[in-house]
Structure 1
Amino acid sequence: MTTATPTPSHPEGSIDCEVRDAVLLIGINRPAKRNGFTPKMYRELGEAYTRLDDDPALRVGVLHALGDHFTAGLDLPTIAPLMQRGEKAVPLGLVDPVNLGMDGYRRRTKPMVVAVKGITYTLGIELMLAADIVIAADNCRFSQLEVKRGIMATGGATLRMAERAGLGNALLHLLTGDEFGSAEALRLNFVQKVVPAGTELDEALAIAHSIAAQAPLAVVATRLNALKALEQGPVVAMHEFIDTQQRLSRSEDAAEGVRSFVERRAARFQGR
């Protein structure tokens, strides 16, 4: 079973990064408080996502959590003052971890795989829905419970839950704030795989390393085109096909792909 290298937990929590080959392992570290997010943690998460996008040696991110739970969500006593002032914890100019495309924020280009376990509330669901592939432990407890606190989910749940599961299924959980398990999350297409608790990070890393072995330029282009099709429609995405394929086919990686096919060996892509 894979474990991340632990570091002492800061009272306000921390986001701990570890590089494993071309994968950036991003750890949520505040287990004593069920990994409840403080402004410090949210800012550091934006910094970690930005690092992933900006470092050419990194190809895939894996988001996970230390301790028994993914996250109980936002630490409201520390976050509420920001909400009341209409401020964001992530500084402008960084990659937005919930990838909403808000003015002043960058959108992530590289793939993100998430491993969730135990309590996965509010922001936890929104982070995994904003990612690309989600591996859930079979002991997950999900809840989008903002209505129980007198607020609204603004990290993407109102958009992406309906997109994945249909409006009725989304509102069932958004309007009741009820708790549901991994089987329901799989049924609703919120997660892609459910695995025995304790193996979710291994599975996420295996998928991330498999993605990292592919041609980086092609991976990014494929991901962005699929996202554009979802958000702007298939016709808009289709209009990029010729230009994108022409650009990719002229890359060194495309030439390496042909050589590796002819020579019957694994390709060694450089992202160029």
Structure 2
Amino acid sequence: MTAIPTVAPPEGCIDTQVLGHVLLIGINRPAKRNGWTPKMFRELAEAYTRLDDEPALRVGVLHAFGDHFTAGLDLPAVAEYMKRGEKAVPEGLVEPHDFGLPGYRRRTKPMVVAVKGICFTVGIELMLGADIVVAADNCRFSQMEVQRGIMATGGATLRMAERAGLGNAMLHLLTADEFGSAEAYRLHFVQKVVPAGQELDEALAIAQRIAAQAPLAVVATRLNVLKAIEQGPAAAVEDFIPVQQRLANSEDAAEGVRAFVERRPARFSGR
């Protein structure tokens, strides 16, 4: 598909578009290779919050306009925030990096990301903070903060080692080297690699497949996986019986049984 962007202001913006139960979230500052500004971070958090708050929305797809996902932070625009130790995202919203900062909400619904071209620093961290990543085969990745005298604070230091192991994480975090889609796939940073130009279609197809499942069960499954990773298997197991009981008493579970008996696709309502 071809998403149609609005005319972006100089400091960029985040565009949203609803397709059925899917919220498309578009990074829109192609003239600057989608370099991130405070305004863009705030609008991204607002889009993630909208996804969680609107019952009709079940899955998000993060993508970018132009040839590149993002060249990273617009350092002159965000440097003062860093010096003051401030976040560009107002408290009370869903924090897009999803690592549980005090004062911020965590996303509950799934997020699929389509990356292409240059995907540096914050781009890697946003995709690692999502759930499923589709990469074009022309991607160029680099976590280059050490090259700029700063540290990656959007989740790379947490998630690179979690996905790829300590040595692989240190290789890319400490050298600020550039690597391609095949290496990102090998390290489990991305889940699919497709020919350039097909990444958004593939991400949308995955999102629509997720959106066709029972929404309450999708959210519960996602949160249980995250609990196992962050708090350990025992904490996740503790939720098995109470969460399953809640789901089994839902309208969607009853619809799932009816669809099974009647041999037809289920029509879930999210209740």
Bin of the TM-score, shorter chain as denominator length: over 0.9
Which residue in 2 is equivalent to 1:86? 85
Which residue in 2 is equivalent to 1:7? 6
Q: Once the two structures are superposed, what CA deviation does each residue of 1:69-113 show, in whole Å capped at 9, x if it has no partner?
A: 000111100000000011100000000000010100000000000
Unaligned runs of 5+ in 1: none
Report deviation, 1:117: 0.2
Give the letter aligned to residue 38 of structure 1: T
1:61-210 alignment runs, 5 A limit: 61-210=60-209
Q: Distance in 2 between matches of 1:147 and 1:6?
A: 33
Q: Distance in 2 between matches of 1:26 and 1:262?
A: 38
Q: Once the two structures are superposed, what CA deviation does each residue of 1:91-150 show, in whole Å capped at 9, x if it has no partner?
A: 000000000101000000000000000000000000000000000000000000000000
Instruction: Give TM-score scaled by structure 1 length.
Output: 0.99
Q: Distance in 1 between matches of 2:233 and 2:192?
A: 26
Q: Distance in 2 between matches of 1:210 and 1:112?
A: 13
Give the letter aligned to residue 70 of structure 1: F
Quote the RMSD (CA, aligned, Å): 0.4
Question: Is 1:251 aligned with 2:266?
Answer: no
SS class of match (1:109): coil
Report deviation, 1:5: 1.5
Q: Distance in 1 between matches of 2:232 and 2:9?
A: 44
Report deviation, 1:3: 1.0
Instruction: Give TM-score scaled by structure 2 length.
Output: 1.00
Which residue in 2 is equivalent to 1:229? 228
Report deviation, 1:260: 0.4
Q: Once the two structures are superposed, what CA deviation does each residue of 1:162-182 show, in whole Å capped at 9, x if it has no partner?
A: 000000000000000000000
Q: Once the two structures are superposed, what CA deviation does each residue of 1:209-231 show, in whole Å capped at 9, x if it has no partner?
A: 00000000000000000000011
Which residue in 2 is equivalent to 1:41? 40
Q: Distance in 2 between matches of 1:120 and 1:66?
A: 13
Which residue in 1 is equivalent to 2:24? 25
Q: Distance in 2 between matches of 1:126 and 1:103?
A: 19
Question: After TM superposition, where is structure 1 displaced by more than 2 Å over at least 4 residues in a row?
Answer: none
Q: Distance in 2 between matches of 1:73 and 1:110?
A: 25
Identity %: 79
SS class of match (1:227): helix
Report deviation, 1:9: 1.3
Q: Distance in 2 between matches of 1:50 and 1:264?
A: 36
Report deviation, 1:204: 0.1
Q: Distance in 2 between matches of 1:72 and 1:194?
A: 20
Q: Distance in 2 between matches of 1:254 and 1:61?
A: 23
Q: Distance in 2 between matches of 1:78 and 1:200?
A: 29
Q: Once the two structures are superposed, what CA deviation does each residue of 1:22-41 show, in whole Å capped at 9, x if it has no partner?
A: 00000000000000000000
Question: Is 1:215 aligned with 2:214?
Answer: yes
Q: Distance in 2 between matches of 1:58 and 1:74?
A: 29
Q: Distance in 1 between matches of 2:267 and 2:118?
A: 39
Give the letter aligned to residue 178 of structure 1: D
